[in-house]
Structures are given as C-alpha cells and as structure tokens.
C-alpha cells in the first residue's frame, strides 16, 4: 500500500481518489453508519486533511496475501494527540474497497468528531459535486 501512503503523505488528493474503488465503503471512527461510495469517501478524506495537524504514518502492517493493510498514524486535532490506524482492504482489481479508521483516546475521538462535524456541510457539497461531475463524465462517453 506504498502508493496510498505516498499519496497521503504528499497531500495528493487526486492520487488518493485514483486508489479508491467506485463502491468503496468508508467506516468512520466517529459516525454510526458507514459511508458507501468514492465521492463521499474522497470528500471525507479531504475534510480529514483539513482538520488533522502533524499527520504521519508510523508503521505499516500487511497480511501475507497483500489485500489487507493497516497504516498506523499519529496526528493532532483540536490540541489533542490522536493515535489511530487506517485499515484498508483491496478488492480483486487492486483498488481500496473497504476503508476503516480507528482512533484513540476517547478525548481525541471527541475532538475529531467535533472538527469533522464542522466540516460536514462542506464535505457533503464536495461529494455531491464530485458525484455530479462523475455522472456527467460517464454520460459523455
């Protein structure tokens, strides 16, 4: 999952989006229900980029089959230090089809929830615009 890590560390949102399956399911550490679809997942990841400070991956764990990856990270949000991990599953096509994030401690998860809550109207607009653009691009072909 070196390509994903490099894209995140470079802040290359287009490269991140290119690694996501159209039917990716994003599971948030602070939301009850998962978010299905590339447009909303990409928008959420952009929102996270805006709220996390000093984000860095500190370890990568991979299964022997190469389809499951855990990228352990640290960051700060709202003055709180966050420890977490991105758990990624690759589909048959090599694209990320499951993206689950876990964070700790509780105070950091609460700070993340508040910060992302402030971002969510923008995230929703970005996801709707991306889905509309994808729909019109698909119709043009």
Determine the Cα–Cα distance for residues 5 and 91; give it in Å rounded to an integer.
Answer: 17
pLDDT in tens, the chain (141 residues): 889 999 999 999 999 999 999 999 999 998 889 999 999 999 999 999 999 999 999 999 999 999 999 999 999 998 999 999 999 999 999 999 999 999 999 999 999 999 999 998 999 999 999 888 877 666 555
Is the distance from CB of 115 to CB of 28 less than 8 angstroms? no
Q: Which domains does the chain have, with CATH numbers?
A: 2-114 (3.10.450.50)
Determine the Cα–Cα distance for residues 26 and 100; give it in Å rounded to an integer.
Answer: 6
User: What's the whole-model pTM score?
Assistant: 0.90
């Amino acid at each position: 999952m070196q390509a994903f890590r490099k894209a995140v560390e470079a802040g290359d949102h287009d490269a991140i989006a290119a690694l996501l399956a159209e039917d990716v399911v994003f599971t948030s550490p602070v939301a009850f229900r998962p978010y299905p679809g590339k447009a909303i997942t990409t928008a959420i990841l952009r929102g996270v980029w805006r709220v996390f400070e000093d984000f860095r991956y500190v370890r990568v764990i991979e299964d022997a089959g190469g389809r499951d990856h855990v990228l352990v990270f640290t960051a700060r949000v709202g003055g709180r230090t966050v420890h977490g991990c991105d758990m990624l599953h690759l589909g048959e096509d090599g694209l990320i089809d499951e993206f689950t994030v876990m964070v700790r401690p509780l105070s950091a998860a609460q700070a993340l929830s508040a910060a992302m809550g402030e971002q969510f109207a923008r995230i929703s607009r970005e996801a709707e615009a991306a889905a509309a653009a994808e729909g019109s691009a698909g119709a043009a072909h």
